Chains A and B, each alone.
Chain A
């Protein structure tokens, strides 16, 4: 595996951590400091772990007596963000896809979605020319894209994505020396509650002295929205394969209710996160973080928008077109999962599991 963590980044990370470790004024903001204080040297593995443990709030920049323009020029959020970004690239699978992280911007992700939609459109129309022109009977998606085609396509993509993410995680775990299983009660609680975005009893800041809970709440909307949509699809798959209940399902059915709530969450969350990004201090981000963050948010948003539109308009003639756009967005979302913002959740969780192990002293 090519070492994609430039020694310059590691050296800078080490320099910053040494100043932090000699100062320690920030020690009660979040777990990053207790983790720093357990170390005397800061090698690559330590910096990878610390950078993925960091939730990228701004407290450490604004509170820092050594922040630029001080000659020590300490910017902890930005330094850790830089290393974190590189870590996503360094441990992805297949390795040559690492470059995809940098190119991952809103335009790229939307182009991928459009390409998939177009492909689906062309394929579906070739096999069923009538599918796009007439109002479909009772919102039957499978009259546009056959069920077998959907299952095959998404199944293949799903297997690839899970494999890619699992291999990335394996590489990352090995690098940071995490041997524990990923299931850990304390770490799970940290992930589910985003506890460390308000550890100090009040929310973290993304601009000097402007603390608000919104970043956390919009993340919750996005995260739980995503999970509910995933649950909706899973329930639908069980309905179909186990019980032989064929979609479309009623508005009051479990898959539709889960999907609707999840879809609304995936609408509010990404819109909120995008809005917050506009007000976010650029000094807290590093390198190509912006396009990379917004690309994932944009795909989530297109997915939820088209999904909800599909629900409302499923008996209209526009349904066929909406369906291919929606499926195109979902496919693009899944294909880019291992090469985009999504991976932060995986590596962050691994870092939190390691932190939980360090805290418990094992």
Chain B
């Protein structure tokens, strides 16, 4: 069994892992990155990301106006309902500002803030070409810097005693190796693609979940660290889940499987009954509740139904809608009870009050006397062709993670900090996010804490 030694071992080759590796290497450490995915699927969930939330005092070439740190913190606290570790949240926000410049030295490119279809140019920088392009830049920089990268390398054991890491057992090329290092950075993501683990929380409902990201986030490192006495943080039952097209692949469908049709019509369950206010609030603020809502419906399935008035109003879907000339016919295509669906649509249409439809604002189109109500954008579903999309819960990530301190050091169950074990990215995002989400915060957490972990690990590991 060959043995290798590095100053810093990074487990997980996503954004956080590469930021840690590049920082540690820059500080003079010898670094090895292990990724359990094959090269083509390297980068973990960062492959599917697109942007980075970033405080900044003045406009730049990639960010408009200004996004003061206080505002960023307030936005974060609003979505997490003040459950974030305030010291870490403040650290995150203040360190976010310098990240784009740091990233650029590795060839990372951003979209110009003046173009593009999204309106987040003030708070978020967008990676040119998205997260996979970002990761390609980082991997190329890692190669130039002499960082070792091993793909399809699965860590099956961690030698951590009393918070002191000595070596990892790695399965690779059909053999098992021991890799020892002066410090460990755990950046291996959450456990959202581990269906067994999800089943522990969700029961058999988990079998109907679609995992939006990489199939390689099995939570193995999270489990090994928890078994080694690390302090967990975040609710294992919490996950970020949205409504995705039920025809999406089980894993790795990424961004294109989401559906934005929901606020334009009604959403029914398999009994053809509505179960939640589709017009409760602006869609960007509500899209992330629908995964959980659908997860609690029978068979974890729901159907978004719109009429011709909504065609072209939302982002084009990757799977074509089921299209029919009547509600009855649509029910047949969606395998829903036809009379029930007709009754649901008729009751909805009757309850719609006259108003002026405007999707850009919380308009006055609402229902009256209907349970659940539709508070905005309620228009009768009466113009064929009618479209229907089947929906499933699509899990983006899980919140359970490892507690860390301000130097990204893993905190053990007894409250002491681990001597040489650090965590960055999704595996410790629970320190900041125990619920809720704001666009781009995952990449900010990965980059900021990846850099912090890399620097501290290099100092310790050398």
Contact = CB atoms under 8 A, between A and B. Distances in A.
Interface stretch (A20-28, A162-170, A181-189): A20-28
A72 B319 CA distance: 12
Contacts of A202: 109
A158 B14 CA distance: 58
B128 A200 contact: yes
Interface in A19-52: 19, 21-29, 37, 40
Contacts of A70: 40-41, 252
Interface string B313-329: 00111100000000000
Interface string B126-169: 10111111001101100000000000000000000000000000
Interface stretch (B110-118, B384-392, B423-431): B110-118
Contacts of A64: 132
B128 A209 contact: no
Nearest to B213: A65
Contacts of B115: 27-28
B136 A28 contact: no
B409 interface: no
A276 B129 CA distance: 24
Nearest to A20: B256
Interface string A255-293: 000000000000000000000000000000000000000
B317 A22 contact: yes
B350 interface: no
Contacts of B25: none
Contacts of A208: 136, 140
A25 B116 CA distance: 10
A205 to B, nearest CB: 9
Contacts of B318: 18-19, 22
B137 A209 contact: yes
A99 to B, nearest CB: 36
Contact of A18 (B41, B111, B140, B316): B316
Contact of A22 (B112, B130, B312, B316): B316
Contacts of A40: 312, 316
Given A28-B111, A63-B136, A208-B136, A23 B117 contact: no
A24 B132 contact: no
A27 B128 CA distance: 8
B47 interface: yes
Nearest to A37: B117
B91 interface: no
B131 A62 contact: no
B256 A19 contact: yes
B254 interface: yes
Q: Which of A18, A67, A200, A209 has the most CB of B within 10 A?
A: A209
A323 to B, nearest CB: 50
B256 A23 contact: yes
A26 B140 CA distance: 20
A63 B107 CA distance: 14
A208 B39 CA distance: 13
B109 A201 contact: yes
Q: Which of B115, B252, B256 has the most CB of A within 10 A?
A: B256
A136 to B, nearest CB: 57
A58 to B, nearest CB: 11
B344 to A, nearest CB: 28
A294 interface: no
B349 to A, nearest CB: 27
A28 to B, nearest CB: 5
Interface string B34-64: 0000001100000110100000000000000
B370 interface: no
A22 B315 CA distance: 7
Contact of A27 (B40, B41, B107, B117): B117
B168 to A, nearest CB: 27
B406 interface: no
B255 interface: yes
Contact of B130 (A18, A65, A72): A65
Interface residues of B, number: 33
B129 A25 contact: yes
A245 to B, nearest CB: 53
A209 B132 contact: no
Nearest to B107: A209
Interface string B404-428: 0000000000000000000000000
Interface residues of A, number: 31
Contact of A62 (B116, B133, B254): B133
A3 interface: no
B254 A65 contact: yes
A177 B75 CA distance: 48
B332 interface: no
A230 interface: no
A66 B133 contact: no
Given A18-B316, A40-B316, A63-B129, A23 B109 contact: no
B355 interface: no
Nearest to A59: B129
A26 B109 CA distance: 12
A21 B256 CA distance: 9
Q: Which of B126, B131, B133, B140 has the most CB of A within 10 A?
A: B133
A199 to B, nearest CB: 10
Nearest to A36: B316
Contacts of A209: 107, 136-137, 139-140
A69 interface: yes
Interface string A199-225: 011100000110000000000000000
A77 to B, nearest CB: 13
A24 B249 CA distance: 19
Contacts of A37: 117
Interface string B204-238: 00000000000000000000000000000000000
Interface string A91-130: 0000000000000000000000000000000000000000
A29 B115 CA distance: 11
B120 to A, nearest CB: 13
Contacts of A59: 129, 133
Contacts of A68: 40
A326 B165 CA distance: 73
Nearest to A41: B316
Nearest to B254: A65
Nearest to B257: A22
B72 to A, nearest CB: 24
Given A18-B316, A18-B318, A65-B130, A23 B140 contact: no
A65 B109 contact: no
A31 to B, nearest CB: 11
Contacts of A201: 109
Nearest to B110: A28
Contacts of B40: 67-70
Contacts of B317: 22
Contacts of B132: 62-65
A27 B116 contact: yes
Nearest to A64: B132
A64 B133 CA distance: 8
Interface of A: 18-19, 21-29, 37, 40, 59-60, 62-72, 200-202, 208-209
Query: Closest 8 interchain pairs by CB?
Result: A63-B129, A25-B130, A63-B133, A209-B140, A22-B256, A22-B318, A28-B111, A23-B256
12 contacts: A19-B318, A23-B130, A23-B254, A24-B117, A25-B130, A27-B117, A28-B112, A65-B47, A65-B131, A67-B40, A71-B252, A209-B136
